[in-house]
Chain A
């Protein structure tokens, strides 16, 4: 009776969201395969990050978007149990990023209601310009996300894939000029970027952010390689 006051205590959850563009253009040049490889590659790194932080429990979710949004992994899954089976691109699928951000906003609202956890980490990967044929405009979705306190507080990182990626929209998603925004022009770069972003977001989110100060990110040097996605149509 004297050991504990109140209820049960546990590690604070850190919710990690991968938001993946699976539009039709991701079929080109092996992009979707490269993205799947990159997610597979990142898992052991995130496990290491989780081991290094005994005060956080890292949960992963994966949201994919094309003409519609689809949870590839909706249940918050401990990183220790996370297995990536891959995702396919949707032939002729659009890039309804606004819809994906609306869905994220809903998740942020739920997290805020639970009243516990580190600020979430969100990694957005996209290779094109957001469309708004089936869902809200990108700006509307972003506004809805940013209207949620946990959406505003989330560590948001974004990666462009290839030369058609709309870096301006991705920058708006990140919301901070001092956070690096990177573009991958080949599979090796994509893997390196996803690993970097995931580790940076995990550390940034689980570092106590107190007062008005934010988190700073330093981007390492990446492989150059053949920019196959930097030129192809």
Chain B
């Protein structure tokens, strides 16, 4: 137990192709990435839109997660403390993420030109049309010894599990998410929809933080409180069984919603090494109404 001391993070991530995508031969359009540099660890997940209008979204998702872990960890390495991390995510990562993703998309489109095939038809002319074909959501989490930062655009969930058992979703809500449509990195006004949050760990332990694509939430029978149960389960598993066991179980856990709901399902976690196998977790907060 760190007792609000320095947090050292381990990453875990996995993805499972949705049964509907499997049946349609569409493949997995989610992506994830993890990166550890010194005492900073970053993870990211992305959900490529998959719709025929976004026919290159799997590449868009991979470009997004690769860039996100690189930018967030670089920023975290260069700042000191939660406030500075928050400023770095707002002032550096947000604009660089949008600019960088767009540039990487254009580079990819130049190196792998669109075919003449009707399946790769642009619905809009110019660069905006190209960005649209790579459309994706993104959730990135970066952990330092004293803070954890979150960046998100679009649907999916970021969840934090504190040392005292509280489970929360630290990012502000995106008012445009209606459970049906999503905001996207491919939008011209993507910057408006990028959300950022930072948790100060100097006074409070964090057991773990996780990012998960919406393929996980969609088939949950408890559409309101599912994330709380997931947080409690993971907090307990980390404490009683450790990160290696979680890493081993992760693909199987993702396969259940991916097969039932049909959508690709991807999860990435930051796991606090100091919490591992340290005894039973006691949850202090009630199930959300």
Asked whether, in the complex, the Cβ of A209 is within 8 Å of the Cβ of B51, the reply is: yes
Q: How many of chain A's residues touch chain B, expressed as a range?
A: 20 to 34
The answer to the question of A233 belonging to the interface, with a C-beta cut-off of 8 Å to chain B, is no
Contacting residue for B179 out of A54, A149, A208, CB 8 A: A149
| Pairwise interchain contact B223-A116, C-beta atoms closer than 8 A | yes
Within 8 Å by CB of A9, from B54, B132, B179, B257, lies B257
Contacts of A106 in B (CB 8 A): none
Within the complex, the shortest CB–CB distance from A21 to chain B, in Å, comes to 28
Which of B83-91, B141-149, B214-222 makes up part of the contact surface? B214-222
How would residues 173 to 216 of chain B score, 1 for a CB under 8 Å from any chain A CB and 0 otherwise? Answer: 00000111110101000000000000000000000000000000
Main secondary structure of the interface of A (DSSP, over half): loop
Given A55-B261, A153-B181, A210-B182, CB of A8 within 8 Å of CB of B20: no
Q: State the CA gap A9–B181 with chains docked (Å).
A: 21
Contact, CB under 8 Å: A55 / B260: yes
In the complex, which residues of chain B have a beta carbon less than 8 angstroms from the beta carbon of A6? 220, 226-227, 229-230, 233
Q: A119 near B: Cβ within 8 Å?
A: yes
15 A-B pairs with CB atoms under 8 Å apart are: A2-B253, A3-B252, A4-B256, A6-B227, A6-B233, A7-B220, A7-B222, A9-B220, A10-B221, A12-B219, A116-B218, A208-B50, A210-B50, A210-B51, A213-B51
Residues on B with C-beta less than 8 A from A153 are: 178, 180-181
Whether A9 contacts B253 by the Cβ 8 Å rule is no
The reply to whether the CB of B224 lies closer than 8 angstroms to some CB of chain A is: yes
Binding site for A on B (CB under 8 A): 19-20, 49-54, 132, 135, 178-182, 184, 186, 217-227, 229-230, 233-234, 249, 252-253, 256-257, 260-263
| Choice from B20, B217, B252 contacting A55 with Cβ under 8 Å | B20
| A200–B249 alpha-carbon span in the complex (Å) | 40
A interface list, Cβ under 8 A from B: 2-12, 54-55, 112, 114-117, 119, 149-150, 152-153, 208-213
Query: How many angstroms from the CA of A4 to the CA of B186 in the assembled complex?
Result: 34
Q: Which residues of A contact B132 (CB under 8 A)?
A: 211
B51 and A9 contact, CB distance less than 8 A: no
Residue numbers in B under 8 Å from A8 (CB-CB): 220-222
Task: Give chain A residues whose Cβ lies under 8 Å from the Cβ of B221.
Answer: 7-10, 116
A8, A11, A117, A212 interface centre (most CB from chain B within 10 Å): A212
Given the complex of chains A and B, what is the CA–CA distance between A6 and B210 in angstroms?
13
Would you list the 5 A-B pairs with minimal beta carbon distance, nearest first? A116-B223, A149-B178, A55-B262, A115-B223, A6-B230
Question: What chain A residues lie within 8 Å of B52 (beta carbons)?
Answer: 213
Is the pair A54, B19 in contact by a Cβ cutoff of 8 Å?
A: yes
